[in-house]
Amino acid sequence: MNRVVITGIGVVSPVGSTLEEFWSALVAGRSGIGPFTVARSDRLTTRVAAQVPQWDPAPLLDSKQRGALDRFAQFAVVAARAAVLDSGLTISAQLALETATVIGSASGGQTTMDDAYYRLYAENASRLHPLTVPRLMTSAAASQVAMDLGLKGPAFCPSTACAAGTHAIGMAFHMLRSGQAAIAVAGGAEACLTAGTIKAWESLRVLSQDTCRPFSRTRSGLVLGEGAAVLLLEERGHALARGARVYAEIVGFGMTADAYEITASDPDGAARAMRAALRDAKRNPSDVGYVNAHGTATAQNDRSETTALRHVFGLEASRIPVSSSKAVLGHGLGAAGALEMAVTALALHRQIIPPTANFEETDPECDLDVVPNVARQAKIDLAMSNSFAFGGLNAVLVARRA
């Protein structure tokens, strides 16, 4: 089987759209959560989100693309371009035929949908924009990335709620490992900050009204975020032959279903996904030196994830550094797993564990080493990234230092 490495990373995030901006904010624990601006926000009670600041696609996309792409697909295209540029890879016409495009999203073109419904029901419009359907499709980001980069291999969109980005990278990893594709452009994109979407989340009563504090006793809920992360995956021999910089090697992927409840997570399902990823990687729990947690900062999720980690790692769970990037990035839904895998790869590459920002007080039910507020230099050979989605859809990636 082929060995698969990450040679390019591109991000659009609430803390910056270059890797240095992104990484420096994560290491400093500098949160992108704060006031946000969306149309028709007067009906919202939520006042904080992790919004991509001052997004202007005009310098980045031509007028035709700007008209055809919803905000989430714009994020995906820009992040994918950055990943390819970062990799230093020239995708020839022949290589394009063998390059997979796998971009996950939970909710697709919510800006387009929200605007269309407002025109239809509030303004009594008799017709909508002719590109409404192509813009709101959950798969639009995958299609637009493939078209923008001229990629003609397998292309699809996992839409598995908050695990979509992780599923996308994991499926792409398996395709490269088995030889179904030579290269993959894989990740996730989301732009869910609209009045309608936020109102729907408010009805679940899981949103924080101040900030995201994963694993802290004072945590008050999740904070919605947006953005995109795309990784350039490449067969290791090909990457080394061209002298590419390698961030990390993906070695395992596991996925399970809780078959339990639509919104509540089951520690058993999460634990089985972690074990599956380690089994796929042919590694033991004791090999893991860092876990990038799902860590949403809801009372139930953080407690459940802690239990799952203890199921997998036993007494060693207290030894392993576990941090959540959502305190900085918010919960990017379908983009979250991809953004967090980018964090995990950078942690391995730079040998620094980013902290769990905004941490206040230890919760006895989340008694882990959550790397509170201050980054930590450490020797990390193997790391894990967790995503546990609504509907009990679990996905876990394991990567090693290159």
**Mean pLDDT across 159-173:** 98
**Residue-level pLDDT at 319:** 94
Q: What is the CATH number of domain 252-401?
A: 3.40.47.10
Tell me the H-state helices in 211-257.
Answer: 236-241
How large is the average pLDDT for residues 341-351? 98
Between CA 380 and CA 269 the distance in angstroms is 26
331 a catalytic residue: yes
Active-site residue, 174 included: no
Give the pLDDT of residue 305.
98
pLDDT at 36 (0 to 100): 97
User: What is the residue type of 330?
Assistant: G
Mean pLDDT of 199-227: 98
Which is catalytic among the residues 157, 162, 212, 366? Answer: 162
- The C-alpha atoms of residue 4 and residue 184 are separated, in whole angstroms, by 10
pLDDT for 320: 98
What is the average pLDDT across 254-271? Answer: 96
What is the pLDDT at residue 43?
92
Q: Where in the sequence of the chain do the CATH 3.40.47.10 domains occur?
A: 4-241, 252-401
- Taken in order 258, 261, 263, 264, is the CA torsion positive or negative? negative
Query: What pLDDT shows up at residue 151?
Result: 98
| Closest by CA position to 395, among listed 169, 167, 187 | 167
**Tokens found for residue 67:** 């008209």
The pLDDT, as a whole number, for residue 285 is: 98
Phi/psi of residue 80, nearest 5 degrees: -65, -45
Average pLDDT rounded to a whole number, residues 24-49: 97
Q: How confident is the model at residue 208 (pLDDT cuts 50, 70, 90)?
A: very high
Residues near 385 by Cβ (< 8 Å), separated by ≥ 6? 166, 291, 292, 337, 340, 341, 343, 344, 396, 397, 398, 399
Q: Which of 15, 337, 7 is nearest to 170 (CA)?
A: 337
314, amino acid identity: G
**Mean pLDDT for the stretch of residues 354-372:** 97
pLDDT at position 280: 98
Whether 349 is catalytic is no
Catalytic residue among 157, 192, 212, 331: 331
Q: What is the pLDDT of residue 385?
A: 99
Please give the sequence-ordered ranges of beta strands (E in DSSP) within 56-194, or none if there are none: 99-104, 155-156, 183-190
In this prediction, residue 397 carries a pLDDT of: 99
The pLDDT > 70 percentage for the chain reads: 100
Give residue-wise pLDDT tens across range 216-233.
999 999 999 999 999 999
- Cβ 163 vs Cβ 395: under 8 Å: yes
**How confident is the model over 354-359, as a mean pLDDT?**
98
Question: For all residues of the chain together, what is the average pLDDT?
Answer: 97
As to burial, measured by CB atoms within 10 angstroms (0-12 exposed, 13-18 middle, 19+ buried), residue 285 is middle
Give me the pLDDT at residue 11, please.
Answer: 98
Residue 326: pLDDT band (50, 70, 90) is very high
**pLDDT score recorded for residue 159:** 98
Task: Tell me the fold of 4-241.
Answer: Peroxisomal Thiolase; Chain A, domain 1 (3.40.47)
**Which residues partner with 394 through β-bridges?**
256, 388
% of the chain exceeding 90 in pLDDT? 100
Which residue among the candidates 157, 167, 212, 294 is catalytic per the annotation?
A: 294
Nearest to 190 by CA among 150, 231, 224, 146: 224
pLDDT of residue 212: 98
